[in-house]
Amino acid sequence: MRAEKGARAYAPGRSRGGFTSKIHAWADNQGRPLGFVLTGGQVSDYKATDALMNLPVPNPRAMLADRGYDSDSFRHDLLMHGILPVIPSRKGRSTPQNTDWQRYRDRNRIERMFNHLKQMRRIATRYDKTVLSFISFLNLAAARLWIRSFVNAA
């Protein structure tokens, strides 16, 4: 079955709630976004890990992610790049991995970053149909977060 002309330019995918897309972000330790990857709503989180690893950002010491990113291959890739994976194991995993829960608590900064991004109505409601326009508005919202951290810095 062939895809329709221009179908690759659209990011929404089918999920339980209808047509949606997922935003995967790479952020610094202050919760400021460094890059984004979009996938369809039906795509599993760990399928976006290759694209996240290929973003032109400096390697961190640790990668904080939620259970959706728990896969042996992703953990192995992180360790090969010298990045400590701080990812809790999925509930159905046969051999649970150890998690540094003290370090994992810092992931709330990432959740707050997504909250700030979705304060912009255009991002929260996903008005844009194409990947390029949606990523562009994500980048504008990210610039807003970065500017906010520099404006009132003493």
Q: Which domains are delineated in the chain? A: 8-149 (3.30.420)
Give the span between the Cα atoms of 27 and 31, in whole angstroms. Answer: 6
Mean pLDDT of all residues belonging to the chain: 83
- Which residues, other chains included, contact 31 with Cβ-Cβ below 8 Å and sequence gap of 6+? 109, 110, 112, 113
**pLDDT tens across 73-91, in order?**
889 989 998 999 999 998 8
pLDDT band for position 12 (cuts 50, 70, 90): low
